[in-house]
């Protein structure tokens, strides 16, 4: 009697992508344009991340700049900054970057489909440089253009077809390079912008929650306002350090003046500026204490 063996091949489901994680000593750096600048200033996303990974006590460094693109960032083209802090890679190393959240593509899409390949190449170069210091890079898509309520403001929503192709390209880059991707374009909520392009202050919490959800971060803590206020204060100090109002006094022509270098009865201006660093560290500790349920030590 012949025995027939039947082998049943079970279909193994693909492994689910690991949720976004922050480890001890991680430094999260934010890159992007105006919408990232405003999102960081509001503190919602950083508060969520601080709360979710409170045991790791991560640091956050905002390097975003208004009108930044994958081709040009304010931290690089600001000539006094490069004198003081070096080029982009040197700056990423300076702040201790290990994780990067980047949002680009909206301004670039205004150049149309003919420049899409140039954008892809530019983003690839930027990511390659970022990965020299960061073990994790997250690509966040732009939100759609909207028709502005003010008829005097240009209606950029006609560019959404092109922007959709840019978002598709960003997702393809993330897939190819095995990076996490956050889609804020597809199924975006309406009326998010103040002028058709920039996210309204009232929608920053919604945007932050959407990013957290797609990264697999639980946002069960409904009372983050106290922590957010501490994050906002820390960010204010960081902004004053990283983007001081007058670079000429630090590294420009005025840095050679007596009152900036100090004299018999003066503290050098650059030394005064550096005093922001321990204040930033203190503000960070305050945020960690609040996130971990401790008593607010105050400012």
CA 264 to chain centre: 43
Tally of CB atoms within 10 A around 289: 17
User: CB of 94 within 8 A of CB of 86?
Assistant: yes
Q: How far is Cα 258 from Cα 249, in angstroms, rounded to an integer?
A: 11
Residues 6+ apart with CB under 8 A from 225: none
Q: How far is Cα 99 from Cα 28, in angstroms, rounded to an integer?
A: 5
Could you give the C-alpha distances from 16 to 139, 181, 216, in angstroms and in order? 18, 14, 11
Indicate the DSSP class of residue 202: G
Q: How far is Cα 249 from Cα 116, in angstroms, rounded to an integer?
A: 40
The alpha-helical segments, DSSP class H, found in the chain are: 34-42, 44-52, 74-77, 79-85, 88-94, 106-109, 116-130, 160-177, 204-214, 225-242, 258-261, 269-274, 276-291
Convert the pLDDT of each residue in 73-102 to its tens digit: 999 988 778 888 899 999 999 999 999 999
Indicate the DSSP class of residue 138: E
User: CB of 180 within 8 A of CB of 151?
Assistant: no
Tokens (6 digits) for 114 = 């003919």
Residue 9: pLDDT band (50, 70, 90) is very low
Can you give the C-alpha Rg of the chain in angstroms? 22
Convert the pLDDT of each residue in 217-265 to its tens digit: 987 676 799 999 999 999 999 999 999 887 777 877 777 776 665 555 5
Q: Give the pLDDT confidence score for residue 253 in this predicted structure.
A: 73
Q: Which residue has the higher pLDDT, 37 or 78?
A: 37
Q: Give the pLDDT confidence score for residue 25 in this predicted structure.
A: 92
Residue 2: pLDDT band (50, 70, 90) is very low
The pTM score is 0.91
Q: How far is Cα 244 from Cα 191, in angstroms, rounded to an integer?
A: 33
């Amino acid at each position: 009697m012949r025995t027939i063996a039947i082998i049943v091949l079970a279909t193994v489901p693909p492994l689910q992508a690991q949720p976004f994680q922050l480890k001890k000593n991680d430094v999260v750096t934010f890159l992007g344009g105006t919408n990232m600048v405003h999102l960081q200033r509001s503190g919602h996303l950083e508060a969520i991340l601080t709360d979710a990974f409170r045991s790791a006590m991560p640091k956050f460094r905002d390097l975003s700049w208004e009108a930044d693109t994958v081709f040009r960032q304010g931290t690089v083209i600001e000539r006094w900054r490069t004198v003081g802090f070096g080029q982009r890679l040197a700056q990423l190393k300076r702040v201790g970057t290990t994780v990067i959240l980047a949002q680009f593509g909206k301004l670039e899409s205004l150049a149309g489909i003919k420049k899409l390949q140039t954008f892809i190449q530019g983003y690839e170069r930027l990511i390659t440089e970022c990965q020299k210091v960061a073990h994790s890079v997250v690509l966040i898509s732009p939100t759609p253009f909207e028709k502005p309520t003010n008829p005097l403001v240009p209606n950029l929503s006609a560019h959404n077809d092109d922007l959709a192709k840019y978002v598709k390209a960003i997702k393809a880059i993330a897939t190819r390079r095995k990076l996490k991707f956050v889609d804020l374009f597809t199924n975006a909520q309406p009326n998010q912008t103040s002028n058709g392009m920039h996210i309204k202050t009232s929608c920053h919490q919604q945007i932050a929650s959407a990013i957290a959800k797609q990264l697999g971060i639980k946002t069960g803590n409904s009372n983050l306002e106290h922590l957010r206020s501490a994050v906002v204060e820390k960010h204010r100090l960081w902004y004053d350090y990283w983007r001081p109002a007058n670079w000429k006094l630090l590294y420009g022509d005025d840095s050679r003046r007596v009152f900036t270098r100090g004299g018999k009865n003066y503290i050098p201006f650059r030394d005064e500026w550096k005093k922001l660093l321990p204040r930033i560290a203190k503000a960070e500790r305050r945020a960690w204490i609040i996130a971990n349920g401790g008593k607010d030590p105050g400012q």
